[in-house]
């Protein structure tokens, strides 16, 4: 700890990303990346725009990407905000809306950037426990709050809320902003973006990292009422007006426009997930129902920490969270069919003592 660190930084427990080891080749199922490459249209447009214009600043408004997002969801461009990955969009959300007199609310088991941002921006937060089967129960969220945020599907559990449940919260929670983080919604859920028209306090955040295979480009967006979008723009322009590079803007636009490729890869991942769930259950794993590109699993007889280490030794990376309530679970990203067959092969060997 440096003597030059501020009081805020000294008190932080930073977000810990999934490991990216370089010591050998792994079957990498620990960071929820898409196993398929980006759309060919994305790769082509990147090649076309790698030239002299890279000496120029990008469009600070990201208009071409906003237009593509707006067209995809049939909203107005004024309903769209774009940023450098959904993590940055979420950070601006905390700055713009959650610095209130009342505490904000989010699940006790959820995306671990939420508590990091709460401490970084000195925002009081209350965590609402998931049910015993890891579901978010929005009826447990008190009406008096400074804001509400949760992923749908939740991470790392993968459990999904339906639109009726979310709309029920919006009907009674009208005095603060409700943020629904839909990073994984394309793998089995239904987006609540259509609700934005009727609920001016709803902000929906999404990313191109997962379903559109662009984790390396860092592109995220939010959709909400113009009043909320204006708040995000104010936060962004007080921090960095040029958040998205030229290449990110054209790549993101091409990805949003290639609907067929997006749907094809999503369906492939869903099909693989369903097969993997059946295989894991045959190996005595309890699998939490998932609408994401990962599954959250627990073996009935083996400890998760031990399985994590043994899989790693065998060249398969999964995610282990040594945290209360979930310290005997593993989160496993859905990879290609061949990658998941290798996972099952190694689990069978471990469980049989081979």
CATH fold of the domain at 40-257: 3.40.640
Residue 328 has what pLDDT?
97
Give residue-wise pLDDT tens across range 291-347.
999 999 999 999 999 999 999 999 999 999 999 999 999 999 999 999 999 999 999
What letter does residue 189 receive in the DSSP assignment? Answer: -
CATH fold of the domain at 17-37+260-351: 3.90.1150
In sequence order, what DSSP letters do the residues of 301-319 get, joined into one string? SS-HHHHHHHHHHTTEE-E
Portions of the chain given CATH number 3.40.640.10 = 40-257
Residue 22 has what pLDDT?
77
Report whether 35 contacts 336 (CB < 8 A).
yes
DSSP-H helix ranges across 13-112 = 40-48, 63-73, 85-97
Give residue-wise pLDDT tens across range 30-87.
999 999 999 999 999 999 999 999 999 999 999 999 999 999 999 999 999 999 999 9
| pLDDT above 80 for 354 | no
Portions of the chain given CATH number 3.90.1150.10 = 17-37+260-351
For the full predicted model, state whether its pTM sits above 0.75: yes
CA-nearest of 280, 281, 349 to 310 is 349
């Amino acid at each position: 700890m440096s003597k030059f660190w501020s009081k805020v930084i000294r008190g932080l427990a930073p977000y810990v990303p999934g490991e990216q080891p370089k010591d050998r080749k792994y079957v990498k199922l620990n960071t929820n990346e898409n196993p398929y490459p980006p759309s060919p249209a994305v790769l082509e447009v990147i090649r076309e725009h790698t030239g002299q214009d890279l000496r120029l600043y990008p469009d600070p408004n990201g208009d071409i990407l906003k237009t593509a997002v707006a067209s995809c969801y049939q909203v107005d461009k004024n309903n769209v905000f774009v940023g450098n990955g959904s993590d940055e969009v979420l950070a601006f959300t905390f700055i713009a809306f959650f610095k209130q007199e009342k505490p904000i609310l989010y699940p006790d088991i959820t995306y671990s950037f939420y508590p990091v941002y709460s401490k970084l921006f000195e925002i009081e937060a209350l965590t609402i426990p998931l049910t015993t089967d890891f579901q978010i129960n929005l009826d447990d969220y008190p009406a008096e709050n400074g804001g509400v945020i949760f992923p749908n599907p939740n991470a790392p559990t993968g459990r999904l809320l339906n639109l009726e449940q979310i709309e029920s919260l919006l009907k009674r929670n009208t005095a603060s902003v409700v943020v629904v983080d839909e990073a994984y919604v394309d793998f089995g859920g239904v987006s609540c973006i259509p609700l934005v028209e009727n609920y001016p306090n709803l902000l929906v955040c999404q990313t191109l990292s997962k379903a559109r295979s662009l984790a390396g480009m860092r592109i995220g967006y939010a959709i909400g009422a113009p009043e909320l979008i204006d708040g995000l723009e104010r936060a962004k322009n007080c921090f960095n007006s040029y958040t998205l590079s030229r290449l990110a803007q054209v790549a993101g636009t091409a990805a949003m426009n290639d609907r067929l490729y997006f749907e094809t890869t999503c369906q492939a991942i869903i099909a693989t997930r369903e097969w993997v769930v059946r295989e894991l259950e045959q190996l005595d794993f309890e699998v939490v129902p998932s609408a994401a590109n990962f599954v959250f699993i627990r073996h009935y007889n083996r400890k998760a920490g031990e399985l994590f280490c043994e899989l790693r030794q065998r060249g398969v990376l999964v995610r282990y969270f040594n945290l209360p309530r979930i310290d005997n679970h593993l989160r496993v990203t859905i990879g290609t069919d061949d990658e998941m067959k290798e996972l099952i092969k190694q689990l069978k060997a471990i469980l049989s003592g081979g």
